[in-house]
Structures are given as structure tokens and as C-alpha cells.
Amino acid sequence: MKKWKRDKRKKGITGAEGRRFTKKVSGKIGLPPGSLVHTGDKREGGVRIRIVEYEGDRFQEREIRSLDECFPLKSKPAVTWIDIDGIHDTEVVRRAGELLNLHPLLLEDIVTAGQHPKVEEHDDYLFIVLKRLEMKDGPEGIDNEISAEQISIVFGSNYVLTFSEHEDETFASVRDLLRSANGRFRRRGPDYLAYIILDAVVDRYFLVLDRLGERIERTEEELISTPSAETVNDIHLLKREMLFLRKSVWPLREMVSSLQRCGSELVDETTRAYLRDVHDHVIQVLDTTETFREMVYGMFDIYLSSLSNRMNEVMKILTMFASIFIPLTFLVGVYGMNFEFMPELKWKWSYPILWLFMIAMAVSMLVYFKRKKWF
Amino acid sequence: MKKWKRDKRKKGITGAEGRRFTKKVSGKIGLPPGSLVHTGDKREGGVRIRIVEYEGDRFQEREIRSLDECFPLKSKPAVTWIDIDGIHDTEVVRRAGELLNLHPLLLEDIVTAGQHPKVEEHDDYLFIVLKRLEMKDGPEGIDNEISAEQISIVFGSNYVLTFSEHEDETFASVRDLLRSANGRFRRRGPDYLAYIILDAVVDRYFLVLDRLGERIERTEEELISTPSAETVNDIHLLKREMLFLRKSVWPLREMVSSLQRCGSELVDETTRAYLRDVHDHVIQVLDTTETFREMVYGMFDIYLSSLSNRMNEVMKILTMFASIFIPLTFLVGVYGMNFEFMPELKWKWSYPILWLFMIAMAVSMLVYFKRKKWF
Amino acid sequence: MKKWKRDKRKKGITGAEGRRFTKKVSGKIGLPPGSLVHTGDKREGGVRIRIVEYEGDRFQEREIRSLDECFPLKSKPAVTWIDIDGIHDTEVVRRAGELLNLHPLLLEDIVTAGQHPKVEEHDDYLFIVLKRLEMKDGPEGIDNEISAEQISIVFGSNYVLTFSEHEDETFASVRDLLRSANGRFRRRGPDYLAYIILDAVVDRYFLVLDRLGERIERTEEELISTPSAETVNDIHLLKREMLFLRKSVWPLREMVSSLQRCGSELVDETTRAYLRDVHDHVIQVLDTTETFREMVYGMFDIYLSSLSNRMNEVMKILTMFASIFIPLTFLVGVYGMNFEFMPELKWKWSYPILWLFMIAMAVSMLVYFKRKKWF
Amino acid sequence: MKKWKRDKRKKGITGAEGRRFTKKVSGKIGLPPGSLVHTGDKREGGVRIRIVEYEGDRFQEREIRSLDECFPLKSKPAVTWIDIDGIHDTEVVRRAGELLNLHPLLLEDIVTAGQHPKVEEHDDYLFIVLKRLEMKDGPEGIDNEISAEQISIVFGSNYVLTFSEHEDETFASVRDLLRSANGRFRRRGPDYLAYIILDAVVDRYFLVLDRLGERIERTEEELISTPSAETVNDIHLLKREMLFLRKSVWPLREMVSSLQRCGSELVDETTRAYLRDVHDHVIQVLDTTETFREMVYGMFDIYLSSLSNRMNEVMKILTMFASIFIPLTFLVGVYGMNFEFMPELKWKWSYPILWLFMIAMAVSMLVYFKRKKWF
Amino acid sequence: MKKWKRDKRKKGITGAEGRRFTKKVSGKIGLPPGSLVHTGDKREGGVRIRIVEYEGDRFQEREIRSLDECFPLKSKPAVTWIDIDGIHDTEVVRRAGELLNLHPLLLEDIVTAGQHPKVEEHDDYLFIVLKRLEMKDGPEGIDNEISAEQISIVFGSNYVLTFSEHEDETFASVRDLLRSANGRFRRRGPDYLAYIILDAVVDRYFLVLDRLGERIERTEEELISTPSAETVNDIHLLKREMLFLRKSVWPLREMVSSLQRCGSELVDETTRAYLRDVHDHVIQVLDTTETFREMVYGMFDIYLSSLSNRMNEVMKILTMFASIFIPLTFLVGVYGMNFEFMPELKWKWSYPILWLFMIAMAVSMLVYFKRKKWF
């Protein structure tokens, strides 16, 4: 049972988790720029396209088969949100690019995993890439590790286009919000919707931090009470998670602030004020990430010192036993010698006196060690 | 008794203190932006609203039940300070926002714990968030740990609004100052009052540093005189305090200097000069924090080297005992053999000569170790 | 066999690999600035000059003997790519400089190995230096190490000039692309061709990262399952690879972004947009490099802690054996003494009782160690 | 004697030295801004006010009782230097502020210890705070530690005002310079005098570095020849000194360069050129500080490795003794057995043959260890 | 012999080398600014002044006794290079300052060792300070250490003035270049000559890096094959060299780039292009320095882990011996007891059976250790 757990942990390092960092990143070499080849994890099943349209009081939600069904986009005031799950079907991405006249390199970015979070300003639209983080449950709650999914957001004057591979409750919660919201939200433009999506994604980061915080606490408790070789493995895995988290979160800061400062007219003043709020959230996430990091790195030092401490304990026990009995063994050895002329051997009280002497010796050693606080 | 202390310490790491870093930060996911949900520690009891009004010689202080009692605000020259303790009652916060026309995201920041210290410039008012630090006493003075409380300050042309969850003597000291002060302070505007409050909060940081400094000193003395596994735990806890302190203090610097440089007309030139003073104080706090940090990190190295040193001592004792007695035991073993033809056994002086030889051997070993400075 | 492998590894450090960092860098001291002396690794065989010309539908590819064959350059709209392999023949480089009127210091940079990746803006042309990385296979796949080759690109209004010492499939793949591509690529200017070359070079970096990632994984697996002195050597070699990679990659970022922002008219707007894509790729490479680096550095800590752990194990075994048998040996020694008056020796049950007592003692020791979780 | 030294060292850490970092910094909490409360070390004795006046050939030096004796300041061209030792008498500071119309916060800075070195530009005067460093002698030259004293310089169009608590030869040397100098210095304004004072203070830093350098050298020699637990303590104390020095020196750089660039007309062009020289000196001090720091931090690593080395030596001796004698003891134990049927016991040559065998065994072990280079 | 080597090494640390960092830097305290006191190492022998004049085809080289011989400077177009070796003769420096009207603080910088490399722009001339590095040979090639010499360059519209204490082949090589060069170099102004000198000095840095690289390689080989306490000393010395090198090289970057960007008309456009080349070289030097640094720091980790590894080996041998023989010794002790009723003693086959049992026990222990891969 314990072994099984250890195996899992080992797999944790070199298996799926390790892959996160060392996975093939070279699938597209030799192709001309702008080629659409999907390089991330692939989901089972077909593409799913969801349309949400709203304008003031009007609100409509439906699922379509082909992108062409919703084009050309309706009259200006309405906002159309087209959510495409399943970017492994590069044909759909290509078609969306065609219909909205998007830059080929942008389409390439959408389908290529491992993009750095960023904002790109184009003439008619803005393009945002970021990561959606989630804490995946392992069996028994041990191997829960962070998984990241790339999300792309394109928004123009009257539409928001989102791409991802897997469906997820983050977007569902945004739909809920739109559905339930009074007219207030719906009166705003696509930039506000993009902000709502961004905010929802960043908010999930706090969930991941919560779970990670619990795991750090659990590992720390284990470290203090029963440190073992597995604990150091856990610390190692936690370091990895921190590495992964940092890599996803750091560029976000730059991304959000460049969105705030961008010159495009697509983002109006009110939305910019809201983006400041997202910016604050990102900084909080960063802060906590850094704090966690320092905590995890500090744990390793404690582990090393506890190892040294234990070695000290073991050495002390050995030294005590050896120091007490080695001289005594020598003494009894002396009276085991076969010399003919050893007067002590004939004396009547030799034996009990020797015993007394040996006991006294042992006791004084013990007192000495006691004074040195060895036990 | 000792065990109890150790338990306390362990709890120190994974209990309330650990919570400071890993506490739930995700209470508000899925809500629309601007929702008022209180996420910090909750105080027992109701809200308490204190009003201080002054204008030159006039000075009035009272406590009210409902915010509406003091609105609309009096004529311009007077400064009204409304101090609200108990932000868990989000209704009061909402009402304050309504009466003074504050931005909804600002209200959200007020009630959400874990804000980064910052300044926000709005058209009619300035918004300041910062942390009030305090050193909480643990039993026996061991577990005193830093606790932080979020304070929000909003000030406009003739009012200052402060929000916090718990009452605290910092604000009481500001009230004392206002009460006792001659007209000099009272002739100045709300920006000066905001400065006085800021200064009072930052001044308390020095108290925390004092207490922390004492604790560092105590731990260091312990480290030099009687290092133990508990010392390393104390060092670990101190590292945590430093982490926590840094996290609270670093953004303060940016905050104060952006307040100094802000373009708003609400902060007049005289007050800016005073803010430079606060800025200097913050830098002093930062400096001391960094120095403490280096000191605490250096302690761990000393602990490790003292561990190695002790291991060396233990090994030396073992080696001395073993090196002296193992050869002697061999020798007496030789003369315990039962061979029929061992001429030495028959000689008369064999036994005393052997003794002399063995003593000489032991003494020469001791001299050798003495020369190597082993004891 | 194993020894052979270890020897290989040692050679890995101080042999060819070590050379990468500590190789002679001082070949040219005392010469006037602008002297052409080749200082990199020298390839066998002569120079090879390949010409590719295209303009819309027209596409021509040939190999020439002397640079003069393709000068003067054809009419403006066509793009001529002159690829020179074998910069050890400085005469060819000098001649190219003469024909295209290049700055003497630029020619010196081309033939001098160890240039920092950079962009230089001149009036009529732009000069780019960068490294082409490759993972060289060692025997048995152990010693695969990164090798870097310096590539120089000069491009003007209607030509692209590339210099390198060794031939390589990167440029071949660019030629394939040009050959197969529809008119789209061919309609663009030399700046676009330079971008294609840059992109191809940077794309290869991902291949190197893939190989490195596999090697890191393999080393980590070895570290967890069977750590040995060779593992620490492998980690050391990996650190070196990271050092080498970083040194090549970091300046690339600055290089690409200064190419993007350069004021020259030789780079048109469309190409700048494509360069942003290269910039993103470079940042991804950097990111992965940094992550790998942290992973490799973390491995060393794990190795040290596993060493300490093993030492602990060894000490425990020693201590158990010694603690159990040393007291027993003392006891049997007691009854080996030759005193005349030892009443126990005469008793009938002494011997079996002693055995029982000794067994009881050993068992209780074992129970004690079991409780302390020593085995 | 040795113990006494060790005690001194321990006191070094937690006593006066420790105080430098952890001393009470919170004496003034709750007071209104601008309150004059002296918070540094207090000198015995009263205030001492020295006046130096010069203008071209005229030069006058005297000591006065009350500040009022030298006010109002003489005609413009003359420079009056008022040097006040003893800022614990806040009344004198207050009076000086009154007479020269200084800002109340400035006066507060003068009497509050622990200011960060800085420059403040006011309309009619400039305010400079910095530290005067000194190497205090401990008994036997062991505990010499750096002590810092805060100096404040205020200079206007025709006066220079300096404040410090203790008298010191730095200012005496400046007075000597003024007294002996030909008219050249005296023809310049108060800004030049302020520069001379600044330069004299910074020059003293080199003395401190010299002393520290000697101490580092001494500790290093000790580390190489006879490393002990006291050496690590010395290294720890040196780290502290470096920490203290850095804290005092780093802000100086910013301070001097902001004085150089300040817009005030009080500093003329010639003096600015001289300030560049002070700036260079500060950078040299910084450089040396950083180098010393790296040296001291490197020492700790050497200490740790020497500890490990020594442990290795001890273990080798133990292992040699044990490995040689334990098998021999077993052997002689064999022939001490009392079996009735042990044929070897009867043979005549058994005993000498056993001795030969045992000697051969011991010698071969020694040869083995010799080959492994254990001694 | 070996001891002698070790002594040399120790001296290496605390002797001349240590002096480089901790040498007296405080020779000038208390003197007025602008005092000329030489503070570097002093060369034996008098000053040597070399004059090189050239203008197009004209080229003249001579050595003079007194500076006055070459003043006033010839007609404008010619370039006069005055090279002064021996700055300990401050009178010559003072006279040069007088003749060329140089700023007194500049002269002070020339004769004061330990200047930070820098450029100073004055109205009529530019002032450059930098370090000339050299690898000094120690006996047996062990103690080769980097030595630095301060060089000052002043150049105006038609002259270049260089100051150094010791003669050196760097300047000789520049003279060679001038002598042999065709008119090309000679047609350029003093700024170009200054560049040539700068370039020659920086080129020498590569020589130092080469030598250092070889030493690093040698130390690394030693570390892998036969690590010893002396190796750690070598690593320590290498760290020092890196420290020293960094200190000299880092400010060079800033220096060269500020020379490139300086507004002075004394540096014309062509020369600026050449300075870019020097800048690239400096960056290469920096890069290699940083790489070497990381390599040297990594070595220490390897040393520590090899120490731990060796300790493990020693412990294993001890544990094997003890674990095998301690139980056996106990067994033979049992049959050495003198109980009257020990039936086994009478049995005929007891003795050989015991032997068989003991051999079986020892063999099974060995098999066990073999399986654990202990040997």
C-alpha cells in the first residue's frame, strides 16, 4: 500500500507531471509560418460552438453546428459571444479567421499550445492569450497537480470570440452571470464581456492557490512530525508546482497592464477602471505565489537539518553503548587471562569487588552523558 | 511542560499562523464584479461609527447609529472624519458608498481582505488601502506573532472616511492628538488628517520591529548557548514573520510615493512635504526588515554548523574510546587463549609487565589525541 | 564497461565540452582592428557558395565557384540569397565585403567565433549575428551535448547574404520552403527571407530543448531510483548545458526586439508583425530554459539529501549491531573470568538461564529499535 | 582566559552590537509630527557650540554659550560655520530652527537617530543627513566594531550648520584645513565648505574599510590554520559588520548623486565637479564593501567543508582501528573457547603460527588503507 | 615538498593576493582635495616619457627627459602621444596638468590607485581611467594570479596623454601598430589613437581569460580525480580571482558605452562605430567571466558531495567489519565461559560445527551487503 503510494509519487515526477515541462515542443519545425497544426492535448469528441447574443434587454443563447450560421454578425449595438471548444479541429479556427478577417499568425497562436500570456493589438480587434489553471484531483487527493489550459480571446467592435480545447465551468459561470444579470452588464460592449471572462479566469487562480496552500500545510505538518524520504519527494513536487504556477502567472501581470494601457478604442474608459481591479487580483496571486515559493524552499532546509539531527541522535546512542561497554569488556577480558601468577584470581572478594567497580564505572559514565544532555 | 511548549510551537506553524498565508482567498468566485462580500476575519458585535468634526476652534466628537445622521455634510471649511469599525456589515459600507457616490469596485476592495497597499485617484476623492500591523501576545510571550488588519481611507474635499474591522488604539491616539492639539492641526484640510492617520499607522510598525528585534535576539542567544531542534523551529517561525512583514511593507513604499506624486488637487503642497517624512519612515522600516531578514537567514547556517560541530565531538569521543580499548581488549584476549604451549603464561612477571605495557599504550594514545587537540 | 562509461563522462567535463567555455579566445591580439582571422572550429573541405534567386514566379537555384559570378546583382525586384559555407576562407568573406561595400569591422565579426547575438543597423544593409544550436549525439546517447555555430546574416534592398562554417539542414529546410511555396512568399522582399531564416534557426532551438528535456527526465529517474556519484556528474554536466544554452539564448531576446524596433526602411511593417512571432518563440525558449535550469539545480539538493539519508541508514545498521552485541559480549566475558570464587559457575542452571537472559535482552533491544522505526 | 575571550565574543553578538540592529526604534509613537525628542545614544556633558567665520583673508574661530550670540548673521560675503555637538539638548536645536527659519520636520530628523542618508532641497537651504563611521577598539583588538553617528548638515547662502551628538576628529581636521589653507578655500561659498565636510566624512570610511580588511585577513588566516567554533562566530560577527556597513553606505550613493543633480542655486558649478569626486569615492567604498561581503560569505563555505573534512579524518581513524583489531579479537576469542576437542590447542607451533598470521593480517590491512590514501 | 606547496597556497590567500582586496586604501585622509599623493604599488627606477608624433606620412618616435621638451604642442593636424610611465613621481603629473591645463581632481585620480573605470567629459579633453590586467606567473605555475594596473588616458584635439606606473607590452604593441601601419591609421585623430589603446587593453583581457580557463580546467580535473583539502583551497582562490576580475570588468561596460554616447566633439562618428566593437568585446569578456564564475561556484557543490560520498564509503567499511565480526566475537565468547555444566563443550563435533556456523553467518552477511550494493 505504502509502496503503491511511493510509486505514484515517483510517477508524479517523471510521468504526466514531468511532461508538463519537458513535453515535445517541436512539433511544427520546417513548416511555413502561419500553418495551423494543433499541438496541445487533444480532447475526445467534436467541436462545440455556443452563441450568446445580447443587447440591453434582449438575451439569446444557442448552440450551433457551423460558424456560418451566425454570420454576418447582427447590427452594431448587439454583442455576440462565440465560444468554440475544441481547437484541435483547425478547420473551424481557419474558418473563424476567414469570416472575421484575422491575421494568420494569430490563428497559429490559437492552436499552438505553450503560448506566453499576451495581448496583441490589431486594427479591428484585440487578441488575448492566457492560461486557465485548475487543480486536478489525483487518487486519494495526493497527486493533485495544477493543469493549465490555453484560452484565446478575440474581441472586436461587436463580437467576442473565445477558443479553448476543453469545456470548463469558468465559462459556464460567465454565462450564468450574463443570464441572471439585470440590464446593467448587458448595456456594455464586448470589451466589458472580455473583462468579465478575464476576471472569471483570474478568480479561479485563487481556488488553485487555496488547494496548493492546503497541500503545503499538509506537507509541512508531515515534515515536522514524521519526516521521511517521501517528504523530500513531496517538497520536490511542490517546488515543481510553484515553478509551473510562476511560469503561468508572471507574464499575466505584464499582459493585463498592457491591456489597460493599450491605445485601442475598443477598450473604453469604464472598462479600463475595471481592468485595474483585475490587475490588483493578479498582483495578489503573484504575491501569494512568491510567499508559497519561499515557504516551500525553506522546508528543504528544515528537512536537511532534521536529517542531521537524527544522525546526531543515532551517533549518540552508538557512542553511549560503545563507551560504556568497551572498557568493561576489556576488564573482564583481563580476568579471563590464563597467567599462572595472577594473585587477584585467588582472592575471595575479587569477583564481587570487580562487579561493584564495573557498576560504578557504568553509572559514572551515564551521569557524565546525562550532564552533557545526551538523553 | 516542555512538550506543551513544543506543541504550541508546532501549532504555531500549521495553526493560526500558517493560516495567514494559506487562508481561503477564494470566497467570492462566480459573483459579478462589485459584489460586497466580506472575506476577512469577522469581529463579534455590531458596527461602530464615530464622527469627529472640526474647523479651526470648533471641535466635536460623537458616536452615531446610522450614517444618515451625519449627512448631508456640513459647510465646506469643516473637516468631518467618519470612522467605521466593523466592515463585516456590508450594508453600512454600501450606504456610505451611496451617500458619497463612491465607485463600486472601491467598495468591494474595502470589504475584501488581502488587498495590496495602494492608492487610487478618483475625480472627487482619493482611496488608500494599507495594513495596520500589531504584535499579538501568545501565552508566555513565545508565540507572539504579527497580525495585520486592512484599513481603508477615503478622503474628499471636506471629509475623511476610514474603514476597519477591529477597533484599535492607533485611531484613538489620532483622536487624542486632534482633541489636544491647538488650532494648528485643525486649520488644515482632510489631506492633513489622512496624513496624520497614515503616519500613526506607519509609526506602529516600529513597535512591531522592536518586538521582533527582541525575539530575534532571544533566539540568537538560544542558538549560541543551547541550540536544539526547537531553535530551528523558532528560526523557521521567524522566517515566516519576516515573509509576512515584507509582504505588508514592500508595497507601502510605492504607495506612499505615488501619493506624494499624485496629480490630485486634494493633496496640497504642505501635506506633500509631510508625506516625504512618512516616506522616510517607510524606508527605515524596509531597511530594518531587510537587515532582520539577513540576520534570520544567517542564523540557520550557524545552526547547521553547530550541528556538524556537535557530531564531530560525538565522533571524537567514540573514536577515542574505541581506539584505546579495542587494541587492549585484543591483547587480553591473546592471553585468554588455551594453547598448551604459551610460555609467557608460566613466567612470573608476565602479568604485571602486561599491565605496564597496556597502561603505556593507553597513555601514549591519550597523548596523541591531546596533541591533535581532540579534548 | 562501467569504467569506460565513467571515463567518457569525465572526458565530457574536461574534454571537448569544457573547451566550449574555456577555449582559446585570444587568437587575434596585437592585430590592427578589421583584420580577418578565422577563430572558430575549422571544417574540412573548401567553400561552398549557393545562390537562390526569385521574383514572383521566377525561381532559380544554383551553386557557384566564385562570388564574382553573381555580381552585379540583378534588377531590383528580384531577391538574391547568397549562402556561403566555409568562413575559414577569409578571402571569400573579404571579397563579399568588397562587392557589397560592407564595413571592415562587420567582416571581422563574421569570421570571429564567439560573437554575442546582435543586430547592427548600417545605412544600406542590416547585419545579424546569431547561434545555430544542435544536439550532438555522443556514443550510446549519453554524451549528447549542445553545439553552437555562429551564423551571420546581411541583407540589403535586394539581397540576403548568409555566412556559416558548416552546412546544416536548417538552411536546406528554408530552401525547401522557398522551392515549394506558392508565389506568396516569393512576392516579399529580402527582409521576409531574413525572417524566414531567423525563424528556422529559432525553431531548431525547440528540438534542442526536447532532447535536453528527455535527458533531464532520464537523469531525474536515475536520481530517484539509483543515485550514485555518476548521477552527480550527470547533474553537473546538465548544469553546464544550461549555462551554455542560457549564454546563447539570453541575448537573442534583445536582438530580436531591437530588430523589430529598428528604424531602418529595409524592414517593412508586415515583416515586423512576423518578427513579433519570432520574439514570442524566443521568450518561450527562454522560459523553458529557465524552468529546466531550476529543475537541474533542484536535483542537486535531492542528491545531497539522498546521500544524508543513506548515511543515516548505514549508521543505524551499525548502531543496531553494536548496541545489541556489545553488552552481550561483555556478559559472556564475565563468565569467562578465571576467579576461583565465582559461585554462579557451579550452579546447574546458570548456563541456560544466561542464554534466556541474553535472548530477552536482544529481543527487547530489537523491539526498542522497531518502535523508533529504525527498520 | 580563553573562556573570557569567548564570553566577550558572545556578548559581541547579543550585547552592544546586536543592539545596533534591534535597538528600540519606537520612542516617539503617538506624538504629533514635528515633536523634538532625542532618540539616539546620549553623550554626557552639555552642548558645545563652535563658530568659524571666514571671508577671504579674515578667519575667526570661537566657542559660544548660546546660539543667540552669533545672530543675526554677518554681512553676506562671509561664511559662518556653526557646529553644534550635543543634540540631546533639543532646546538648542529648536532655537537654531527658529533663528534660521527651518522646517519643523527637518528639526525632528536632526534629533531622531536612524535616519537614512538623504538630501532635502528647501527654498533657502539644503539639508543633508549622513552617518559618520568609526571603528571602535575593543579590548585586545578583537571586538572592534563599527559604530555610526548621525550628522546633519544645513547650509544656506552664507552659513553652514552642523549637528552631531559626539565630538570627533573629522570636524577637527576640517577646521585644521580651513585654518591652514591659503585664501583659495576661503574664497568659496558655504556649498564648498559643505563639500569639504562631506569629503572628510566619506574619507573616514576608508579607514573603517582598512580596519575591517585587516580583521577579515586575520579571521581567514585563523580559518585556514586552526578553524574552531569560535571562527564561525567571528565570521558571523563579520557578516554583521558587513550588514551594518552596507546599510550605511548604500543610500549614500543616491544621496551624493541627488546632491550633484539638485536644481538649487546654492550649489554652484565648481562645487558640483568636486561632488563628482565624492561620488567616485562612495562608489569605491561600495565596491570594496561588496567584495568584502563576498569574501566573508565564502569563508563560511570553507568552514563547513573543513568540518566535513575533519569528520572524515576522525571516521577514518576509527574505521582503521576497528577494521584491524575486531577480526583479530575474534580470532583470539576462538582459541579462548573451552571445547574439549580442539586439536589446534595441543599442537606445539599453534601459538607462534597464530601470531604470524595475525601480524600478516594487520599488515595487509595497513597496506590496503595506505593504498586508499587513508593516511 | 607537498607541504611547501601548501604553504605557498596559504600565502596565496593571506599574502600578496589578499592584499589586493584589503590593502590600505586610506593613505590620504585629512589632506585637502586635489593633493597629489601616489597610493599604488611603486615601481623602482625613474620616470620614462615616450613621445610619438605622426601626421599622415610623417612619423616620429623619441624618448625625452622632461615634459617641457615637447611643449608647446606642434601645429594642429599632427597627433602627439605622450606616454608617461612612473606616476609615483607626482611632480611630472603635476607639470603635465599645468601644461595642458587639466583639472586638479583629475590629476589626483591619476595618481590614486583603486579608481573605478570611468570616463569624464571636460571642455577641452576627455579623461578615461581603466585597468590593465595581467596574469602573473607564480613559481611552478600554481599561483598565477591576476594583477591589475591603473591606466589613465587624456586626449584633446591634437594630443593623447597616457599614464601608468609600470611599462608593459600592451603599449609597445600599439607603437608597433602605428609604426608599421600604412597611412590609414595615421590620418585619423587622437580619438582614434585612444580607441586603439583602449582596444589593445581590452584585448589583453582575453589572454587573462584564457589562462584562467586553463586553471579552472586543471582544478576541475583535480576535483574529479583526486579531491583534497587543497582542492577546496584552489577553488577558494579561483573564486577570489573571479571576484577581482568582475570588479575590474563590470564598470568597463558602462565606461565604454558612455564614451560612445558622450556629446563631445572630440570623438567623431567613425570612431564611435569602432567603439561599438570594443563594447562588443567587453560584453564577451563579461559573459565569459560570468560563465567562469558559475563554473567555479558549481565546483564547490561537487566537492561537498564528494566529501559526503567518501564519508559514506568509510562508514560502509566500518559497518561491514563491525556487523560481521561483532556477532562472531560474541559467539566465541560464549564458549569461552567457564560454567561447569555446558554440555556442548564435551561434544566431539561442537568445534567444527561452530566454525561451519560462523562461516555461514559471515557469508550470508556478505551476500546481504552485496545485494545492498555496498561494495
pLDDT digit string (tens) for C236-287?
888 888 888 888 888 999 999 999 888 888 898 888 888 998 999 999 899 8
Looking at residue C3, its pLDDT comes to 42
B/D interface, count of CB pairs below 8 Å: 164
**Residues shown for chain E:** 375
Sort out which chain C residues have CB atoms less than 8 A from E306's CB and list them.
229, 232
pLDDT of residue D325: 92
- Which among B140, B363, B128, B364 is positioned nearest to B266, based on CA atoms? B128
Looking at the partner chain, which of B196, B210, B315 has a beta carbon nearest the beta carbon of D25?
B210
Q: Work out the widest C-alpha separation in chain A, in whole angstroms.
A: 124
Distance from CA of B223 to the nearest CA of A (A): 14
Cα angle A242-A244-A245, degrees, rounded to a multiple of 5: 65
Statement: residue A7 has pLDDT above 70: no
Query: Which pLDDT does position C28 carry in this prediction?
Result: 64
Q: Name which of A169, A182, A222, A326 to mutate to probe chain B: the one with the most chain B Cβ atoms within 10 A of its Cβ.
A: A326
- Which run of H or of E encompasses B55? strand B48-55
Higher per-residue pLDDT: D40 or A251: A251
Tell me if C203 and A304 make a contact (CB, 8 A cut-off).
no
Query: What does the pLDDT read at residue B41?
Result: 74
pLDDT higher than threshold 50 for residue C11: no
Cα-based distances in Å from C311 to A311, C316, E183: 8, 9, 73
pLDDT tens-place string over residues E112-155: 887 889 999 998 899 999 999 988 776 555 556 888 889 999 99
Q: Which domains does chain C have, with CATH numbers?
A: 31-305 (3.30.460.20), 311-371 (1.20.58.340)
Over residues B290-313, mean pLDDT: 87
Closest chain C residue to the Cα of E222, Cα to Cα: C14
> pLDDT tens, A25-70?
565 666 777 778 887 777 777 889 999 988 877 888 889 888 888 7
Q: Cα D315 vs. chain centroid, distance in angstroms?
A: 39
- One-letter identity of residue D372: K
Cβ–Cβ below 8 Å for A217 and B14: yes
User: Highest mean pLDDT range out of B28-42, B350-364, D160-174?
Assistant: B350-364
Strands (DSSP E) found in chain A:
48-55, 58-64, 79-85, 118-121, 126-136, 145-155, 159-164
Task: Identify which of C311, C325, C335 has the shortest CB distance to residue E327.
Answer: C325
CB burial of B51-87 (b: ≥16 within 10 Å; e: otherwise) equals bbbbbeeeeeeeeeeebeebbebeeeebbbbbbbbbb
Return the closest-CA partner of residue A159 out of A99, A244, A223, A212: A99
Quote the pLDDT of residue E6: 43
- Answer yes or no: are the C-beta atoms of E108 and E34 closer than 8 Å: yes
- D262 neighbors D126 (Cβ within 8 angstroms): yes
pLDDT at D83: 93
Check whether C18 has a pLDDT greater than 60: no
Place E2 in a pLDDT band, splitting at 50, 70 and 90. very low
Task: Kindly tell me the burial class for residue D220, based on how many C-beta atoms sit within 10 Å of its own C-beta (0-12, 13-18, 19 or more).
Answer: buried
What chains are in contact with A, requiring at least 3 Cβ pairs below 8 Å?
A: B, C
The mean pLDDT of E4-23, rounded to a whole number, is 45
How much is the pLDDT for E1?
36
Chain D interface disruption, residue of E26, E301, E305, E345, most D CBs within 10 A: E26
Chains near E (3 or more Cβ pairs under 8 Å): C, D
CB contact under 8 A, E220 and C14: yes
**Closest in D181, D291, D315 to E314, CB measured:** D315
Identify the sign of the CA torsion A37, A39, A44, A45: negative
Instruction: Check whether C14 has a pLDDT greater than 70.
Output: no
CB-neighbour burial class of residue A311 (10 A; exposed 0-12, middle 13-18, buried 19+)? buried
Residue C329 has pLDDT above 90, yes or no: yes
B298, B309, B342 member nearest D236 (Cβ): B298
- Report pLDDT for B362: 93
Select the more confidently predicted residue: E348 or B45: E348
Residue C374 has pLDDT above 50, yes or no: yes
Cα dihedral value C225, C226, C227, C231, nearest 10: -100
> Inter-chain contact A311–B311, Cβ cutoff 8 Å?
yes
Confidence class of residue B228 from pLDDT cuts 50, 70 and 90?
A: confident
A28:C181 CB<8 A:
no
Inspect the interface and report whether the beta carbons of D210 and E26 lie closer than 8 Å.
Answer: yes
Residues of chain D scoring pLDDT < 50 = 1-18
Measure CB to CB from residue C203 to each of A29, A308, A332 and give the nearest one.
A29
Of the candidate ranges A249-263, D1-15, E313-327, the one whose mean pLDDT is the lowest: D1-15
Question: From residue D72, how far is each of D67, D160, D193 by CA, in Å?
Answer: 10, 14, 20
Q: Give ∠ CA E11-E17-E21 in degrees, rounded to 5.
A: 135
Angle between helices D104-111 and B269-334 (to 10 degrees): 20
Question: How far A157 CA sits from the closest chain B CA (Å)?
Answer: 22
Looking at the complex, report in whole angstroms how far the Cα of residue D180 sits from the nearest Cα belonging to chain E: 10
Q: Which residues are A84's β-sheet partners?
A: A49, A163
Nearest 5°: phi and psi at D98? -65, -45
Q: Do D116 and B280 touch (CB under 8 A)?
A: yes
Residue written as grid cell 549518540: A316
Contacts of E317 in chain D (CB under 8 A): 319, 323
Q: What is the pLDDT of residues C140-196, one digit of tens each?
A: 555 568 888 899 999 998 899 999 988 888 888 888 888 876 666 777 889 999 999
Higher pLDDT, E174 or D227: E174
The share of chain A scoring above pLDDT 90, in percent, equals: 28
Return the DSSP state at C112. S
Among residues A36, A14, A17, A15, the alpha carbon closest in space to that of A27 is found at: A36
Comparing alpha-carbon positions, the chain A residue that sits nearest to B343 is: A339
Contact yes or no for E233 and D224 at CB 8 A: yes
C103, E151, E180, E185, E237 from E177: Cα distances, Å: 21, 19, 5, 9, 36
Are the C-beta atoms of C219 and C277 separated by less than 8 Å?
Answer: no
Pairing of strands B79-85, E79-85: unpaired
Q: pLDDT > 90: what percent of chain C?
A: 27
DSSP C33: T
- Per-residue pLDDT, averaged over B166-170, amounts to 85
Average pLDDT over residues A64-90: 82
Distance from CA of B272 to the nearest CA of D (A): 12
Please tell me which of the candidates A207, A298, A337 has its beta carbon nearest to residue B335.
A337
pTM for the structure as a whole: 0.82
The pLDDT value given to residue D152:
95
- Answer whether A18 sits within 8 Å of C217, measured CB to CB: yes
Report residue D314 as a C-alpha cell.
576522525
Cis bond upstream, residue C251 (ω within 30): no
Q: Which residues of chain A have a CB within 8 Å of the CB of B13?
A: 220, 224
Q: Is C358 helix (H, G, I), strand (E, B) or coil?
A: helix
Q: What is the pLDDT of residue E184?
A: 67
Torsion over CA: D264, D265, D267, D273 (sign)? positive
B352 upstream amide cis, omega within 30 of 0: no
Set of cell numbers at residue B280? 522616510
Cβ–Cβ below 8 Å for E247 and D287: yes
Segments of chain D assigned E as strands = 48-55, 58-64, 79-85, 118-121, 126-136, 145-155, 159-164
Q: Which residue has the cell 557558395?
A: C49
Lowest mean pLDDT among B229-238, C7-16, C58-67, E297-306: C7-16
| E183-204 mean pLDDT | 86
- Tell me the C-alpha distance between B98 and E142, whole Å: 80
Q: Mean pLDDT, chain B, as a whole number? A: 83
**Chains in contact with C, where contact requires at least 3 CB pairs less than 8 Å apart:** A, E
Nearest to A153 by CA among A41, A39, A255, A21: A255
pLDDT at E211 over 60: yes
Residue from C8, C317, C338, C340 whose CB has the most chain E CBs within 10 Å, to mutate? C317
Q: Do C196 and A304 touch (CB under 8 A)?
A: no
- Most confident range (mean pLDDT) of B151-155, B211-215, E281-285 is B151-155
First-residue to last-residue Cα distance in chain B: 35
Residue A23 confidence (pLDDT): 54
- Minimal Cα–Cα distance from D24 to chain B, Å? 6
